[in-house]
Structure 1
Amino acid sequence: MSTRPSNAPVRRTLRRAGIFVAVVALVTLTGCPRGSGQDDFGTLPSITTTDPEAEADLREARAAAEAGRVAEAERGYRAFLEAHPSDPLVPVARLGLGRVLLANGDIERAIALFAQVATSEDERVAEAGRFHQGVSLHLAQRHAEALALLEPLVGRTTDPDESVLLLRTLAAAAQREGRTVLALEALDRLGEAQEIDAADRESAVEDLRRVVSESDASAIAEAYDALPRDGSAWPEVAMRAIRLAFDAGDMARVSAIVAELRQRQIPMSEELAELAV
């Protein structure tokens, strides 16, 4: 039985990640570091424009978005798309408009825009579209579709806030789909990520423990076999598995798990160790 997580952590991360910054994902998903001194459009060499008016219009819309002037940003992006429907920067404008709509709670229209961005011939732009489409699909309760888009992006983000958003969304969507192992893997990765804030790491570990404590015996058995042994998740799963095996009277399994924990020099309480006696 899977737990039913709240979307609150995902929504908080969306706000903190700067949902209005239209091109940030095009940078964070391509490995181009922030603060590199490059012009925003210079990070997308295959998406340029020869129309200075189009570039200026898009910059104005982005400036409004970055300043939190939501209505102005939406008008600016829509005006750009109407005035420059064939400009190469159209996917960037659609991405920006989609982010504004998502921040306003207009999830379905945002999904439609991100889906268009995801068809871009430029793979980096398409990847940014898939990222935002996946987050939006999760918020729209379309969790399986969200996972299909987001799983391939693990390890692709370089911006800490975007990494938190990706892994938080993966964990929440996976729980809704009953995929406990994937949820634990995402939270484990988040808890071990030294580049993100300590508070985010601690929160991920707390949520990981909650998922373990609320998962049923079959989910714990699957996680025990599937999870890597070098993270934070597997020891928590192993200790829960000991209690479940003891309650089921399976003393052979209790002894086997305790032996593996000892072999890997993973600390456990005296109470758990004594269950194997």
Structure 2
Amino acid sequence: MAEGNNRIVLFAALGANLGIAVAKFVAAGFTGSSAMLTEGFHSVVDSTNQLLLLYGERASNKPADDIHPLGYGRELYFWSFVVAILIFATGAGLSIYEGIIHVLHPSPIEDATVAYVVLGISFVLEGGSWLTAMREFRVTQGEHGWWKAVRRSKDPATFIVLFEDSAAMFGLVVAAVGIFLTHFTGNPVWDGTASIVIGVALAIVAFMLARESKGLLIGERADPKLVEAIRNAFATRPEVSGVQEVVTIHTAPRKVFVAASVDFVDDVQVGHIERLIADTEASLRAAYPEITSVYIKPKAG
């Protein structure tokens, strides 16, 4: 997925969440609803997350230097991990805390109509952001299932927004149910319970995002098809007797480092080996622009 499309997804989510956060806090002030206040915190956290991901996108594009010879691509993965921690510590933590307080010390909802209107508008805005993220995610999904595509993705920006928006829409439905039950039964405990449910859902999302971001931060290999293409590019040369090992690692969503151990036929001259490596590297880069660095260890076959 192109970087520009990533930014479209992030800006769409940021704009929606900022507007929604203001509306939810206003509604919480009018109604005294715990679920609405929780949803306001949720939107603030989501807005902060989009800002961090935008910063990570920008920072990851800094050119390589002496200190970071492979570039700064993994900075995006670092900020993605920070986002997961924020969702857990701030979003889930505040939601569960606020819910428990309102269950222990319930207070009635004063005007449910305002809450319903804000929740409805928020659902439409979140839905628009979710559709934008889903449309961009499907570009890279291919024939894989939704969850498998997330596991294979090396670009956290889009699937984080997708997870966040899905959790947000679930939270809006839960908040609406909690407010309705509180208003219908006259028991404000339902409102606090809705906050706890929202918090638990956010904690689950945070755990899933943290696990995916951790794998990217540690370092994941490239797509197996790319690995096989690299192996075949050398193995099909008559001067090559075998390819022992191909190591790939994503240094950024669209940047792959490649190292390979290649066995050459004994009577091949060094100069010819150098030209073969250079030609093969050039053809690989032309076919797969994400390959940024190629290191070959030649061995006598």
| TM-score normalised by L of structure 2 | 0.26
Please identify the structure whose Cα radius of gyration is greater: 2
Which protein is richer in strand relative to its size?
2
| TM-score normalised by L of structure 1 | 0.28
Q: Highest relative contact order (Cα 8 Å, sep 6+), 1 or 2?
A: 2
